[in-house]
Amino acid sequence: MFRIRVLPALSMLLLCFGLIGQPQAQVFPRGNGISLTGIKNFDAYVDVSHWVEMTQDRTQFRVNAQAVFEGKLAEAGVLLRPAVREYLICKVQATGAGRTVAYTVTLQFWEIDSIDLNRLLWERGGIATIPQDEFNEERVASECAQFFVEEWRTHNPA
């Protein structure tokens, strides 16, 4: 009898003090786009971390994608500033298989601290397969920029 009365009371106490999560609580990264609120300046970088059986030169692809990525962010009103703490990383992985490319694009928002831990605050990405002749810097950089701009504008309306 004692257990039956104590368990509901204990559960309520733990819930009130935040020791038991609520089902509708925000879970990273979904809902964490709020971390973009009020931030106008970002540093940005394209990282080509996996490049297998691709016809394009990896370094040149990265450099070209970087230029497109920065341009798309600037068009959206994002101010790019080197060495700020708010960092956008567009991660690209691609594998060629004959005339097809399987690739992933992931955009990550990091808070970089030179003397402490770096924190991943938000990310969004996708995976696709397309004909190799359609895989290019414009496509990849535009996807990354679109991921970011959609979320950023949600939390920073004009």
Residue 35 lies in a domain: yes
pTM for the whole structure: 0.78
User: What average pLDDT does the structure give for the chain?
Assistant: 83
State the total domains in the chain.
Answer: 1
Tens-digit pLDDT profile for residues 43-73: 999 999 999 999 999 999 999 999 999 999 9
In this structure, is residue 39 part of a structural domain?
yes
- Find the mean pLDDT for residues 128-145: 96
Q: How far are the Cα atoms of 44, 83, 87, 125 from residue 112, in angstroms, in the given order?
A: 12, 9, 7, 20
Burial of 152 (0-12, 13-18, 19+ CB in 10 A): buried
Q: Residue 58 corresponds to which amino acid? A: R
Using pLDDT thresholds of 50, 70 and 90, give the confidence band for residue 118: confident
Per-residue pLDDT tens digits for 2-30: 444 543 443 343 334 443 333 333 335 55
112 assigned to some structural domain: yes
Assess if residue 9 is contained within a domain.
no
Q: Is residue 150 part of a domain?
A: yes
Residue 19 lies in a domain: no
Establish if 54 belongs to a structural domain: yes
pLDDT for 32 equals 78
Domain membership of residue 123 (yes or no) is yes
Domain that holds residue 96: 26-155
